[in-house]
Amino acid sequence: MFQFTEEQKMVRQMVRRWTTNSLEPKVSAIEEGEPPYELMREFAKTFGIPDMVVGMFEKLEKRAAEKQAGGDGGGGGDAKQPSPGIGGPDPALSAIVSLELTRVCPGFMLAFGASMGLAGGAIMGKGTLEQKRRWALPIMTWDKIGGWGMTEPASGSDAFRSMRTVAVPRGDGYVLNGQKTFITNAPYADILVVYAKIDHGDGTPLSERPIEAFVVERGDAGVDTPPPMKKMGMHASPTGEIFLQDCYLPADRLLGMKEKSQGRASGKGVFHSERTGMAPMACGIIERCLELSLAYAKEREAWGRPIADYQLVQDKLARMYMHLQNAQNAMFKQLWMEKQGMTMTDAEASATKLYCARAATECAMEAVQLFGGNGYMQEYRVEMLARDAKLLQIGGGTDEIQALNIARNLLSDEDDGRL
């Protein structure tokens, strides 16, 4: 697969129409702090996402009932069960949604994806059928907003080993204490997936304790989510902290309902999808920067000629086009693999993210340069795209962590046909 099908292109046009008519006019307001969620609900409704998700859930429940009737219990957490992605069962549609929303407002896409993809995806991946019905379904239908809480003030890149949030078994449930930070949607989320280390009081050092994922609901006693943090970019995506103080959660909040040290696997699964999912966002940023830059270069004159006539400006346009080609190839490779039921290796996923994030940031910064003083002004979109692009090199694992991942895989003795 190296391009979208005719049908997918039509969907793309429809999404483009919505972003032009409904998202673009609201970008300034949401960049300035208006919560983006009503607009997300409108988007989801316009494209029939809630109905589609309900349909997929009905099938999921039917399959689970058949499985149970067959005598194997059914209904447990199963990462292989299909998760309704943000564009439904066709991964290309999810990519189109991501690409098109990002073109107009990367922050809007970040918050949209964190709710449906990260929080919804984590519950779909490791939750029991009942947990999926109770928490993933309302997130996927946009009745509720989700957030995914892994990062802490002292544990980002070193997410698992340095994690300090602790869950102590008490009675039928757990008492959680700790703090999460930089969590997308935290200030507004109704449902939060939070990772914590289990403390059985057996003296296991903190760094080695098993990690589990829990569902925290807004309104649970002992949970505080302060107002959004102020940040460099992605202003349309509210980012915040989660404070957990003696927060008691009943047993049914443990994802999977059984302690199985699922937290690391769940976290790794989410990181993997964040990494491969970066390609459409990068394509959105690069494509928009290139379009805006082409138009500006033809229109803006210096020394009596359009700046497009100057070869140093042409080099910027050519490099943006080169990066777009490569990011698109990465995206289509990933979509093709998903369609074949194949999964990218960790090295492939990290290489995809590393390349795409750097390319998007380079293109957006070069677009600012090409626009000169205007590029530095908020009135011109390249300013927002440059601030937003930088996050791609940090969120979901920094560039350095992707490079380390690639090297670790290449240097390991396992032969997974990676070269």
Residues in contact with 219: Cβ distance below 8 Å, sequence separation at least 6, in sequence order: none
First to last CA, the chain: 20
Tell whether residue 157 is a contact of ligand FAD (CB under 6 A): yes
List 86, 395, 405, 406, residue binding ligand FAD (CB under 6 A): 395
For 111, 195, 284, 304, 348, the CA distances from 389, given in Å and listed in that order, are 14, 27, 10, 33, 21
Kindly state whether residue 398 participates in binding ligand FAD, applying the rule CB under 6 A. yes
Torsions phi, psi of 147, nearest 5?
A: -140, 155
C-beta of 205: minimal distance to ligand FAD in Å? Answer: 20
184 binds ligand FAD (CB under 6 A): yes
Count of residues of this chain found to bind ligand FAD when the rule CB under 6 A is applied: 22
Pattern 226-265, ligand FAD, x by CB under 6 A: -----x--x----x--------------------------
Q: Does 182 bind ligand FAD (CB under 6 A)?
A: yes
| Burial of residue 134, with CB atoms counted within 10 A of its CB: 0-12 exposed, 13-18 middle, 19 or more buried | middle
- Listed as own residue / partner, the contacts of 390-395 with beta carbons closer than 8 Å and 24 or more positions apart are 390/232, 390/233, 390/361, 391/106, 391/110, 391/233, 391/234, 392/278, 392/281, 392/282, 392/285, 392/353, 392/356, 392/357, 392/360, 392/361, 393/357, 393/358, 393/361, 395/110, 395/274
Contact between 183 and ligand FAD per CB under 6 A: yes
Whether residue 196 contacts residue 165, with contact meaning beta carbons closer than 8 Å, is answered with: yes
The structure tokens listed for 206 are 């903190």
Tell whether residue 277 is a contact of ligand FAD (CB under 6 A).
no
What's the min distance (Å) between Cβ of 148 and ligand FAD? 5
Q: How far is the CB of 277 from ligand FAD (least distance, A)?
A: 13
314 touches ligand FAD (CB under 6 A): no
Residue nearest to ligand FAD (CB): 156
Interaction of residue 168 with ligand FAD, rule CB under 6 A? no
Give the residue numbers marked as catalytic.
Answer: 274
Asked whether position 225 contacts ligand FAD by CB under 6 A, the answer is no
Bridge partner list, 112: none
Write the single-letter amino acid at 350: S
Choose, by CB under 6 A, the member of 38, 143, 301, 400 that binds ligand FAD: 400
- Which is closer to ligand FAD, CB of 23 or CB of 234? 234
Nearer CB in complex with ligand FAD: 11/105: 105
Our measurement of the distance from residue 88's CA atom to the centroid of its chain's CA atoms, rounded to an integer in Å, reads: 16
Q: Which residue's entry shows tokens 């009675």? A: 171
- In the list 88, 117, 138, 149, the residue contacting ligand FAD (rule: CB under 6 A) is 149
What separation in angstroms does the CA of 65 have from each of 74, 226, 236, 398? 7, 41, 41, 42
Q: How far is the CB of 34 from ligand FAD (least distance, A)?
A: 18
As given in the structure block, the two tokens for residue 64 are 């689970």
Residue span 95-134 as binding mask against ligand FAD, x where in contact by CB under 6 A, dash where not: -------------------x--------------------
Q: Which CB sits closer to ligand FAD, 187 or 395? A: 395
Report if residue 151 touches ligand FAD, rule: CB under 6 A.
yes
Which residue bears the tokens 């005598």?
71
Binding site for ligand FAD (CB under 6 A): 114, 148-151, 156-157, 182-184, 231, 234, 239, 391, 394-398, 400-401, 404
